[in-house]
Amino acid sequence: MADTVFIKDLKDHVGKTATIQGWMFNKRGGKGIHFLQLRDGSGVVQGVVFDKSEETEVFKTADKLTMESSVKVTGEVTQHPKHDDVFELQVSEIEIVHLVDGEYPIAKKEHGTDFLLENRHLWLRSKRQRAIQIVRNTIINGIYEYLNKEGFIKIDSPILTPNACEGTTTLFDVEYFDEGKAYLSQSGQLYLEAAIFSVGRCFDFGPVFRAEKSKTRRHLTEFWMMDAEAAFVEHEENMKIQEGLIVHVIKKALEENKKELADLERDVSALEKIEAPFIYKTHAEVVKELQEMGSDIKENDDLGGDDETILTNKYDKPIFVEKYPAEVKAFYMKRDPENENLALCADMLAPEGYGEVIGGSEREADYDVLLGRIKEHGLDEKEFSWYLDLRKYGSVPHSGFGIGLERLTGWICGTKHIRETIPFPRLINRIRP
């Protein structure tokens, strides 16, 4: 019996007979020869079926193999005559696990995005979509690695919540038994703020929801967020933690995902430039700069999507845009002691036109001030009494931030639209498959 191995490990079996299990995604050939393109998730390999007579069982099986059929293929592992790192299987046996009857819906020809999204369950198998998911996985692991090293403990925040975190206009509500309305979480931040009093530094990582009527390349209605929160960390240090995290994750992706980034045709030289320190600018400076570039942004405006694009196209490092007008930001942000109208916050915008990837701030730590903000924002004071308690019992300066996983993945992979970076995207006009 030949060893069953992953395609990525075939290099260790040269000269021996091995079996791989996977799918045939393409087939070429000619008289007496079939070249089977095989993949198993770990890699791809070409299986060569050679039989001048075209009479053998294995040749006849290869003959009838249809695209995306699943197979177990056995053969001698050989090194490609021209490429050191390419291996082939000289096929001696094919066991069909499932023969696809008829044509595979996503054939070789070009398809429109709508068609591909409708067939997302199949589209995921493509080389490009696989590469994105592999990079996404590396990013997730990189985030865990860095935060664990920096003393952050994973704390899972709830998804069903009674209160809003990021404003009341983008909430998804659900009927919650006799308790009235509950909402799908927009961010676990408020719960992490409670947990820092227990563990000091913590983070969560999970799906969050925004009923945002935005139909842009940067918006999903369900996406994955990593919120981090730390006691005794103020605004400046908060940004330094983010900087370190981003540098770590990009370095890891460059090291571990060379093949995938090549499959994505990502210009890795742009990622190689990402080193600390990043660029730091205040919102006021950025507004001026944008106006000079032709934007109609006003002093007290939030940055629009186009503003983020034109600004970040100018730079080859991420930019922290600090101290936004408090009125365009969330209720929990601490104000700048030097100017009450500004929030002690920063958004990290990724270069190459990608725009906001992280939102963070120092949090208001004073009970009375925070209560005032809750009222100003028209939030239900009762639902925030637990959050206010945190300012009653051992309040400390603290800060945190939230990374949108799909935006970070989109930037690192170089995708145009973030819908490709999540396995099953939810958009305002799409919930299937």
Longest dimension (CA), the chain: 88
- Based on the shown chain and the rule CB under 6 A, indicate whether residue 9 belongs to the binding site for ligand 4AD: no
8 Å CB contact between 408 and 226: no
Nearer to ligand 4AD, 9 or 150 (CB): 150
Gap between the Cα atoms of 231 and 56, Å rounded: 71
Q: Is 355 in the site for Mg ion (CB under 5 A)?
A: no
User: Least distance to ligand 4AD from the beta carbon of 328, Å?
Assistant: 11
Number of residues that bind ligand 4AD (CB under 6 A): 23
* 57 φ/ψ sector (left φ>0, alpha ψ -120 to 50, else beta): alpha
Select from 124-132, 204-212, 298-306, 359-367 the region that touches Mg ion (CB under 5 A): 359-367
Task: Identify which of residues 157 and 257 has a Cβ nearer to ligand 4AD in the complex.
Answer: 157
CB-hemisphere CA count at 13 Å for 264?
28
Whichever of 61 and 163 has its CB closer to ligand 4AD, that residue is 163
Distance of CA 112 to the CA centre of its chain: 23
Residues numbered 180 to 209 that lie near ligand 4AD (CB under 6 A) are 186-187, 189
Q: Is 425 in the site for Mg ion (CB under 5 A)?
A: no
Surface-to-core class of residue 102, CB atoms within 10 Å of its CB (0-12 exposed, 13-18 middle, 19+ buried) = exposed
Closest CB 410 distance from ligand 4AD, rounded Å = 9
Token representation of residue 16: 């021996």
As given in the structure block, the two tokens for residue 168 are 């009341």
Could you give the 3-state DSSP secondary structure of residue 287? helix
Asked if 120 is part of the footprint of ligand 4AD (rule: CB under 6 A), the reply reads no
Q: Is residue 400 within the footprint of ligand 4AD (CB under 6 A)?
A: yes
Q: Which of residues 342-381 bind ligand 4AD (CB under 6 A)?
A: 356-360
Q: How far is the CB of 187 from ligand 4AD (least distance, A)?
A: 3
Tell me the HSE value of 321 on the side-chain side, using a 13 A CA sphere. 28
Q: How many CA atoms lie within 13 A of 401 on its CB side?
A: 31
Per-residue tokens: 183: 């909402």
- Binding of Mg ion by 359 (CB under 5 A): yes
Indicate the helix (H) or strand (E) that contains 313: helix 305-313
3-state secondary structure of 325: strand
**Taking CB under 6 A as the rule, which mask of x and - marks residues 132-171 in contact with ligand 4AD?**
---------------------------------xx-----
Select from ligand 4AD, Mg ion, none the partner in contact with residue 217, using the beta carbon and a kind-dependent cut-off of 5 to 8 Å: none
d(CA 196, CA 227): 12
Does position 404 bind ligand 4AD by CB under 6 A? yes
Report, in Å, the least distance between residue 241 CB and ligand 4AD.
12
Residues making contact with ligand 4AD (CB under 6 A): 165-166, 186-187, 189, 210, 212, 219-220, 223, 225, 227, 356-360, 400-402, 404, 406-407
Judged by the rule CB under 5 A, the positions of this chain that interact with Mg ion are: 359
